[in-house]
Amino acid sequence: MRRLRLKDLPLSEVFQDNIVFIQPDEKIDFRALFNDRPLKVELCCGNGHFLADLAEMQPEFAFIGVDRLYRRIAAASRKVRKRKLENVRLVLDDATRFLNMHIEPCSLKACYILFPDPWPKRRHHKHRLITDGFLQQVSERLMTGGELVIAHDHDEYSEWIAERIQRTASLEPRYPELPCSFDIQEDLPRTLYEQKWRSLGRTIRYFRYAKKD
């Protein structure tokens, strides 16, 4: 007998496990799912350490973690279940497609993108998530005052991010003097990547920008 896969399950069963598998032609109203609780999203959420920590710190908000790899979403789901976090849903999807299909304009309180793949080789730069068009897409979905948070340790990719985020006219920096902060963010949990790279002496950059009025 063929093993049952996640995508073979009815959506009603999938919801019970805090994982949402979205069919290609399906659109889900996540604000309604959380009874209009203010919504925050982590794109490329990986194994869910940051997401679970932040959701536990901020129970008044609803959180969606998005990743395109099932093994990561499954690991994040285990953390969510273990902590009994009812304010989290996990989505197996591409970040850009998810924003386009399921997040309404001016609806996000925050969007977190922490240590996305840098694709360091020049011929692979076309695969990078952070582009002018993507940043505009995120900005359009943030509510006024909503925050975009991007973190990275890769020097060249950080310069790439800084150039593009500074020319996104609808976003303004939390740190006006610099494009980013090098400090530990006391109001946010530290990811496993951040803990590892800081212990090895690497520089971590946090880009924190808010949607203008």
Residue positions annotated with a catalytic role:
117
3-state secondary structure of 201: coil
Asked whether the beta carbons of 109 and 38 are under 8 A apart, the reply is yes
Asked whether the beta carbons of 120 and 153 are under 8 A apart, the reply is no
Q: Which amino acid is at 18?
A: N
Q: What is the dihedral of CA 209, 210, 212, 213, to 10 degrees?
A: -170
Close Cβ partners of 23 (under 8 Å, ≥ 6 residues apart): 11
Q: In the numeric block, which tokens belong to residue 189?
A: 């949990």
Closest CA to 45 of 23, 28, 69, 16: 69
Q: Which amino acid is at 156?
A: E
3-state secondary structure of 16: coil
3-state secondary structure of 40: strand
3-state secondary structure of 1: coil
The whole-angstrom separation of Cα 2 and Cα 37 is 40
